[in-house]
Amino acid sequence: MQIRDKVILITGASEGIGAACAQVLRERGALLSLTARSEDKLRLAAGADGLLTAGDITAPETRERVVARTLERYGRIDVLINNAGAGLYTPSWNSDPAHVRAMFELNVFAPIELTRLVVQSMRRRGSGMIVNVGSIAGKVTLPWLTLYSATKYAVGSLTDGLRMELKRDGIHAMTVCPGYVETRFQSNLIAGRIPPGVADSRMFAISARRCAEDIASGIERRARTVMTPRVGWLLVAAARLFPALLESRFESIHARGQSPRGAAEGAP
């Protein structure tokens, strides 16, 4: 797919991967429609000609408004990038249900509903692409991010299903699996804290710009999955070939960041 003159709608576009995608895609000639909660930050990412719609993407009225405004401005949506997401660093067995629901609303249900809204016009035109930003945690479960991993596994499965469902309509679906990207993701958590062993690891960290360039290249070649950085495939392979060994390693990292048992369970 040629990016020039394509209408691309990006969620979570005010900072991080979303803002970097806006910059890279604008440089490649895309027509942008951006949405996020912060209007001021969106203005920085949108450029002179981009359409911006501020609002909470978990709210149905925001989703409907951003799609309607995009169609009104451009007459079509060629690519939807479901990028908005948040993490939850608390144990799955001891998480606040409200926090869990909030994360699933943003990471899973918002992409499902936005896809539903844009696919009808894509089907009428016989072309389009859905890009869902997952995570390497959607390929390999991370015990310090168990519930986040669950949302990203759901996103990956959703994307695979969409690709098969919509192929005959000319619509492609692509999953993006970032590893550690240098953004404010870990500062914008719903709840919890990062284990020291994870927080100190930067061996394969990449910039948001590098991630965005990989996403743009994936769109151009109609990739099924974009692993960024590609070295992440080694971790996926290790999880498939040596699951017990990897689980033991992850459990050790996770344990170093935990409170003593009594404190974790609320004992005096």
Catalytic positions are: 148
Beta strands in 159-213 (DSSP E): 171-178, 181-182, 191-192, 206-207
State how far the Cα of 204 lies from the Cα of 231, in Å rounded to an integer.
Answer: 8
Q: What is the DSSP letter of 176?
A: E
Which residues fall within 8 angstroms of residue 189, CB to CB, at 6 or more apart? 86, 87, 88, 89
- Of 211, 64, 85, 214, nearest in space to 150 by CA: 85
Task: Please state the φ and ψ torsions of residue 177, each to the nearest 5 degrees.
Answer: -120, 85
Q: Under DSSP, is residue 9 helix (H, G, I), strand (E, B) or coil?
A: strand
For residue 94, the tally of other CB atoms under 10 A from its CB is 9
State how far the Cα of 218 lies from the Cα of 212, in Å rounded to an integer.
Answer: 10
Beta strands in the chain (DSSP E): 7-11, 31-36, 51-54, 79-82, 88-89, 128-133, 171-178, 181-182, 191-192, 206-207, 225-228
State how far the Cα of 81 lies from the Cα of 32, in Å rounded to an integer.
Answer: 11
User: Which residue shows structure tokens 């492609």?
Assistant: 172
